[in-house]
Structure 1
């Protein structure tokens, strides 16, 4: 009975992965990936000194998949590069719009997939 349950779980996970991969390009096109800023507080001043950009997959206003599910999958097949560029573009647009409201020494952290370093044009 355990083997049957294990096979059902494997089958379920494979179907989820196939659905995630199949819907990736349409999700980008529909802009269902949303960026969020996780603030970092300076212990000395108690003020927000920087923020890390996070990405969440929303569908119908609700989180569709956890990043713990889709990011490793995108790392495996290379989709993470397109997702990263999407996140960078959204972040830079946000910075253009709100940069005058941010402190001069405010910093933004963006995640960079190791796959980017395999691209020939990424490094000078």
Structure 2
């Protein structure tokens, strides 16, 4: 008789666990938005490169900007480049995000230390 009583109480215990724990869900992790840790003055090499002053980007004229972005690290580098583009003449003229994103992707394709896939950067407002 004790065996049957034990089976019943174990079945009730497991049923309650399944019912009550089935309603519990994990919270998704909070993703912090990427921020550029550099100030506007530290981004000046990139601002001058990403503006309309330098029409053609080459490996030689983007070297200083690439060094600045390499010091920031890979997760924050695209955000810093987008911020520099928004602070440059490109952002001041009100050009679309497609132009700014294209210019930033062109910059990263010329940076030797960049490990980003070509065309993977998307700038936002």
TM-score normalised by length of structure 2: 0.30
Larger Rg computed on CA atoms = 2
Q: Which has the higher contact order (CA 8 A, sep 6+)?
A: 2
